[in-house]
Structure 1
């Protein structure tokens, strides 16, 4: 009888040990889509990565649920963009480290939109790779190899945006001040209807001044954000007789976009095409 029990128990223990090994795989939590995409490109299938902010949620206004706080608390690594954007990450006492992806970026005041510039995205991928390699040294070579392959794509994208530096007309007007890093890095000038917060509406007098600025600069296009309320941009475009063009802050990807194969890189390429309608 004992032999029969042992014959049953030993395979069960082996099975449980295998399950525990799988369950103990390091967990990395990212805050929103660009951080998730950058991180997944680096870790591949070596580490389980979970993203917190859904594509239909505004990152500026997001507050984590109790379940999401628990997920982050149990994480070995939390990867977020910046202290100015995901402030809700700072109080989390997770079991491992927090990685501020934009730590090596030369910041523009308290503007958190670093990822919208491919030049800064390159820095973020480099920094995430460095920090993950320190946390999980056994996977360092795999991380560096994966990152190198992804950086080839980002550097190609960067080179495509670099062509804007040769333009004669470099001013563009956007719904809110989300493209400052892109403008700085590629020699452009952004005029923003609203400030860093997309929900703050400018006064009628401010809109009138913007209309005058548009006329002086000869601007015929107003950029609105595909993932936000475009009412402000529509108001200005209508008063100035300008064309509305969509541009993406690349904060999230819908299920339909993911199914269609859209990524940070494809969305940024679409942004480049949109900007070329104004930047000439």
Structure 2
């Protein structure tokens, strides 16, 4: 046998004999997006490996799960979904058929939803504003639903999950207090390309103005009206997201002479992102 064949054979033996990581041995729970992974990990601790279907940087409105993810979901102990995200509504029936023994949990249960009218719709499926997790108050309800789901599928460790949920609730209260402190002297209106902060705005009495019109780019006449409205509302900051075109936002920000701030409503670092939004509203002049 040639030397390079010996090496190849040895490498194959090593790969086959390698031990799986301890993390891989844990039972998995699948969540639909990264912010839910943040809450689920805080409550599950080391009991489960939390896996997100939509990787950070992808749009959950149009995402298609891969065949590998479909197989992995069938091996999960549960699927925790945000509730009304585009791909969830499109794929839920198929996912359930593929994983008939996996319980599905809607984490938006108990949340007072924002229903979009035809005039306000931004191409969200089902007419419901889906970004429920971008709110401290909603985050508490979402976390409570996660805790309940974990207690249901693993009742043996119920006390652990309840303890961690209580701890998370304390942290959420502290985050809410920090946001309130930031917004005490901040601006009450802001412009955003895609209306991902509707529940955040509702929590704190803010006005969210969206550049999108029915999920489409605004016309020149709509842009002019938008700029006038922003002036009337004293908008001091424009929020943009990496997954959307920023040209109109940049043009409006230049016209208004206000800063553009990039946010990530789908970030795993949920608390950091919520505080980032609050600070941008409280100190717009200091933003790059």
Structure 1 length normalisation: TM-score?
0.80
Q: 1:83 to 1:28 in 2, by over 3 A?
A: same
Q: How does 1:194-209 map to 2 (within 5 A)?
A: 194-195=212-213, 197=215, 200-209=216-225
Q: How many residues align?
A: 247
Shift of 1:214: 1.4
2:121 corresponds to: none
Describe the SS at the equivalent of 2:274: helix
CA RMSD of aligned residues (A): 2.4
2:130 corresponds to: 112
Shift of 1:196: 7.4
Shift of 1:168: 7.6
Describe the SS at the equivalent of 2:143: helix
* Counterpart Cα distance in 1 of 2:282 and 2:184: 12
Gaps of 5+ in 2: 1-19, 116-127
Q: How does 1:1-280 map to 2 (within 5 A)?
A: 26-85=27-86, 86-91=88-93, 92-93=95-96, 94=99, 95-109=101-115, 110-163=128-181, 166-167=184-185, 169-195=187-213, 197=215, 200-226=216-242, 228-249=244-265, 251-253=266-268, 263-277=269-283
Gaps of 5+ in 1: 1-18, 254-262
Describe the SS at the equivalent of 1:245: strand
* Counterpart Cα distance in 2 of 1:81 and 1:247: 20
- Are the counterparts in 1 of residues 53 and 69 from structure 2 also a CA contact under 8 Å? yes
Structure 2 length normalisation: TM-score?
0.78
Could you tell which deviates more after superposition, 141-150 or 205-214?
141-150
Deviations 1:163-211 (A, max 9, x none): 46755841111122111101111111111111574xx311111111011
* Counterpart Cα distance in 1 of 2:54 and 2:186: 39
* Counterpart Cα distance in 1 of 2:34 and 2:191: 25
Could you tell which deviates more after superposition, 230-239 or 160-169?
160-169
Deviations 1:211-268 (A, max 9, x none): 111121222332222554322211221233332222331x135xxxxxxxxx211222
